Amino acid sequence: MTLYQPFLDYAISYMRSRLNLQPYPIPTGFESKSATVGKGKNQEEVVTTSYAFQTVKLRQIRAAHVQGGNSLQVLNFVIFPRLNYDLPFFGADLVTLPGGHLIALDMQPLFRDEPTYQAKYTDPILPIFHTHQQHLTWGGDFPEEARPFFSPAFLWTRPQETAVVETRVFAAFQDYLKAYLDFVEQAEPITDAQHLATIEQAQLRYLRYRAEKDPARGMFKRFYGAEWTEEYIHGFLFDLERKLTTV
Ligand code: DBV
């Protein structure tokens, strides 16, 4: 079973239909990684596959797809805009573990508490959020320190049923991605130096938080070792800092 393959296929083909997707380099050895985990009858192959693209407005569109049998499926899909746009991040963390499903879907804001920013990038999403939230109830506790990185339209849910993921979550994912590409289409480059500086700071704040707190770190370390994991996190999943210092 590969629960999130349809999400990935949909996202790539939908983006191709609206954007001029160019490849984004994936560091050698990180395109696909596999390991055998567990013992005896419980042995499972865990394969992590990476995908990455870029466009004129989007610095990095990347996905990590982890497939390890029925009770281990993850699709982490993030879009990082170029630093001369004030666009939010598209963030999807779709996670299935032995304990159940955990779904995080949002347009993650650069400036969480700025009214003009909210009016531009959150208010238009609220109708979509409310439509889906009726069927996808609030997932409960999540790290308080992560709050600044999510918008008021954050869909956060832990569905009991796989069917809910396949139907309701998939529908929400499609609607959020469409709305995001609408924002991208409308986005105009920022030229004001002061504004550009605050955007870079906000991107770095987000990136450092995600790289430091990556909830998948433990899992990846167990499967693939510490060295591979740190390189994957800093050299691919959350690579902005490296890209800035190596220009
Ligand atoms: N999460 C990632 C990447 C993953 C990934 C790159 C490639 O950022 C998977 C894999 N997320 C993943 C896994 C878990 C979570 C959990 C495997 C389960 C960890 C576990 O239970 O062992 C949203 N993801 C979570 C949680 C949240 C998110 C809130 C619960 C974490 C917890 O309870 O501590 N998305 C995640 C997040 C941000 C975001 C924290 C912060 C800005 O955008």
Q: Angle formed by the axes of helices 5-18 and 170-186, to 10°?
A: 20
Span from the CA of 216 to the centroid of ligand 1 (angstroms) = 6
Select from 50, 89, 95 the residue to mutate for testing ligand 1; criterion: most ligand atoms less than 8 Å from CB.
95
Residue with tokens 């979509």: 128
- Residue 85: burial class (beta carbons within 10 Å; 0-12, 13-18, 19+): buried
Predicted local distance difference test score (pLDDT) of residue 39:
86
Nearest-angstrom CA–CA distance, 122 and 103: 19
The rounded Å distance from CA 96 to ligand 1 centre is 11
pTM, two decimals, is 0.96
Fill in the amino acid letter for 67: Q
What per-residue confidence (pLDDT) applies to 1? 65
Residue among 93, 224, 230, 239 to mutate when testing ligand 1 (max atoms within 8 A of CB):
93
Q: What is the pLDDT of residues 117-146, one digit of tens each?
A: 999 999 999 999 999 999 999 999 888 899
Please, what is the average pLDDT of the chain? 96
What residues pair up with 33 in beta bridges, in sequence order?
48
Q: Taking a C-beta distance cutoff of 8 angstroms, is the pair 203, 226 a contact?
A: no
Tens digit of pLDDT for each residue in 105-120?
A: 999 999 999 999 999 9
Nearest protein Cα to ligand 1, atom 18: 215
CA of 119 to the centre of ligand 1 (A): 27
Distance of CA 121 to the CA centre of its chain: 17
Rg (CA), the chain: 18
Give the integer Cα–Cα distance in Å for 173 and 84. 26
In the chain, which stretches have pLDDT less than 50?
A: none
The pLDDT assigned to 239 comes to 97
* pLDDT tens figures, 9-32: 999 999 999 999 999 999 999 999
Q: How many residues does the chain have?
A: 247
Return the structure tokens found at 146. Answer: 């992560």
Q: The complex's ipTM?
A: 0.94
Which of 48-71 are b and which e, b meaning 16 or more Cβ less than 10 Å from the residue's Cβ?
bbbbbbbbebbbbbbbbbbbbbee
Q: Which two tokens stand for residue 212?
A: 């430091």
